[in-house]
Amino acid sequence: MINPFKKTYSDSELKLFRFLSRIQLFNKLSDDELAEFTPYLHSRKYKMDEAVFFRDDPSQALYIVKRGMVCLNLEIEDRFEVISEVKASQAFGDNSLLEDTYRLYTAIVTSETAELMVIPQVNILEIFEDNHIIKSKMLEAVAVLYNNYTANLFKAYQSSYGFFNIGEAYRRK
């Protein structure tokens, strides 16, 4: 039986939901849950070599690449080392889903232009406060991402044993 009171979405909204659902942070969310984010999505355009944010900046937004490419870099002395290249249908700045966090890397646009969708942290946290199921699904996705990052770190450490002390990564502040 069809529910006549169920919310329906326009073709453009459904297209946006399909786009978002390809991103790991959002892929467990239903259309109704994804709709919670749409009022807070802002489109921003960037040019090559423009910084999206710098290391140690407050984590005030989540970024989703709609078009273009962004490099995530770690500053070592006077140079940048590329951690990752983020392409269309990928997100970065995922620590913005956690309160009181700061950027761990610098994000710089490396394509001629880039179009990013931005969701302010304040809005993400409001959604989390109002909908604990969304919060649970998204923080589970963050845990999976962070587990993958840790696994990759361990693999890199094993292949370059002796160049750094991995125990320093697990010392509590």
DSSP track, 14-67: HHHHHHHHTSTTTTT--HHHHHTTGGG-EEEEEETT-EEE-TTSB--EEEEEEE
Query: Looking at residue 133, what is its pLDDT?
Result: 97
Query: Looking at residue 127, what is its pLDDT?
Result: 98
Instruction: Write out pLDDT tens, residues 78-100.
Output: 888 898 999 999 999 999 999 99
Residue 6 in any domain: the answer is no
Please report, for the domain that includes residue 82, its CATH number: 2.60.120.10
Query: Looking at residue 147, what is its pLDDT?
Result: 87
Residue 173 in any domain: the answer is no
Query: In what helix (H) or strand (E) does residue 120 lie, and over which residues does it extend?
Result: strand 113-120
Residue 4 in any domain: the answer is no
Query: Looking at residue 144, what is its pLDDT?
Result: 93
Q: How many domains are contained in the chain?
A: 1
Query: Looking at residue 81, what is its pLDDT?
Result: 87
Query: Looking at residue 7, what is its pLDDT?
Result: 82
Residue 41 in any domain: the answer is yes
Query: Looking at residue 122, what is its pLDDT?
Result: 97
Residue 171 in any domain: the answer is no
* CA 173/CA 170 separation, integer angstroms: 9
Residue 55 in any domain: the answer is yes
Number of neighbouring beta carbons within 10 Å of residue 79: 8
Query: Looking at residue 48, what is its pLDDT?
Result: 98
Query: Looking at residue 1, what is its pLDDT?
Result: 59
Name residues of the chain where pLDDT drops below 50: none
Residue 164 in any domain: the answer is no
Look at the block and give the residue holding tokens 């990752």.
84
**Under a CB-based contact definition with an 8 Å cutoff, are residues 81 and 156 in contact?**
no
Structural domain range at position 142: 11-122+131-152
Residue 137 in any domain: the answer is yes
